[in-house]
Amino acid sequence: MKAIVITQPGGPEVLQLAERPTPACADTEVLVKVHAAGINRPDVFQRKGNYPPPQGAPQDIPGLEIAGVIAEVGAKVTHWKVGDKVCALVTGGGYAEYCNVPEGQCLPIPGNLSFEEATSLPETFFTVWSNVFDRGQLKGDETLLVHGGSSGIGVTAIQMAKAMGHTVYVTAGSAEKCRFCEELGAAKAINYKTEIFADVIKQLTYGKGVDVILDMIGGDYTPDNLKSLADEGRLVLINAMNGKDVQVDLSVVMRKRLNITGSMLRSREIAFKAKIAQKLEQVIWPLIASGKIKPIINKVFPADKAAQAHKLMESGEHIGKIVISWQV
């Protein structure tokens, strides 16, 4: 099969088209003929040599989400058959013509979505569900603040939380991105280049703060995150783009009875991911099929232009998801 491989740690140019053996399909796995794969920031970290794949995942083929057609099923697979159209969360190997996947990490392609649209779903939808609704316990009429509102995670969180009846605030880095987030359903998008988000949140919530914050920034955002949380609020960390070493005023944590948590999804066990898939299919997939939640695609690149896709990801100029396709 053809695959996009990391020839050595480095810039986008180290991604090259190469021939690799088609992976074997274990008893509880399906083999998917990949039509499209999503680009995610962990792919960039892996390419740079800063995010080694878990044991057992392909070491030189990145890619955490795919969409395609099942070409083979393992002997113990019960839920899928050859020819089924699926999207799936994988631990690696997504930038290839074929990828093997545990059956529980596959989901049917909802509605009439294209493969390119469907491949934009798994990584962000698994991440948002796991961190906002499971770890963050967003419920009732609670409010959510999402940093990076125009990112793949951001546009997913806006739509998912809004569809579940929550008020969503976001931060973004330009007037265009802020306008887009508000059109998508955010009650307010805060331009972090011209405004201090903690001050705006205080004003918007009449001093109460928000109930949950989904943060991929870390670093110097942390003190203002704690200021922006309501009593009993939850800060959920999924990345630390501005740095992992921070100073925290523990008196704020104690006084407001805050919960600081976080997770990394990629290394979690198959059964854990399968449970998230079940919840998504039950609760969220009908909302996608009905059009209440929609994939937001920024640009689709041919698979052999993966380096250009990574350049766009690193530029931060995109709104929504970046995808590579074996069909164009």
d(CA 201, CA 229): 9
Question: CA 51, CA 45: separation in Å to the nearest integer?
Answer: 5
Beta bridge partners of 322: 39, 299
CATH code of the region 2-121+266-325: 3.90.180.10
Partnered with residue 66 across adjacent β-strands are 37, 88
Taking residues 12-31, report their average pLDDT: 97
125-262 adopts what CATH topology?
Answer: Rossmann fold (3.40.50)
Q: For the chain, where do the domains classified as CATH 3.90.180.10 start and end? A: 2-121+266-325
Q: Which residue has the tokens 């922006």?
A: 228
- pLDDT band at residue 31, thresholds of 50, 70 and 90? very high
pLDDT over 90 (residue 327): no
CATH 3.40.50.720 boundaries in the chain: 125-262
Instruction: For the chain, report the end-to-end CA distance as a whole number of angstroms.
Output: 17
Q: How many CB atoms lie within 10 A of CB 7?
A: 12
Query: What local confidence, expressed as pLDDT, does residue 241 receive?
Result: 87
Q: Is 163 helix (H, G, I), strand (E, B) or coil?
A: helix
For residue range 112-171, list pLDDT tens digits in order: 899 999 999 999 999 999 999 999 999 999 999 999 999 999 999 999 999 999 999 999
Please count the CA atoms within 13 angstroms of the CA of 84 that sit on its side-chain side. Answer: 20
pTM of the model: 0.93
pLDDT at residue 328 above 90?
A: no
% of residues, the chain, pLDDT over 90? 92
**Strands 167-172 and 297-302: what pairing?**
unpaired
The H or E element containing residue 108 is strand 106-108
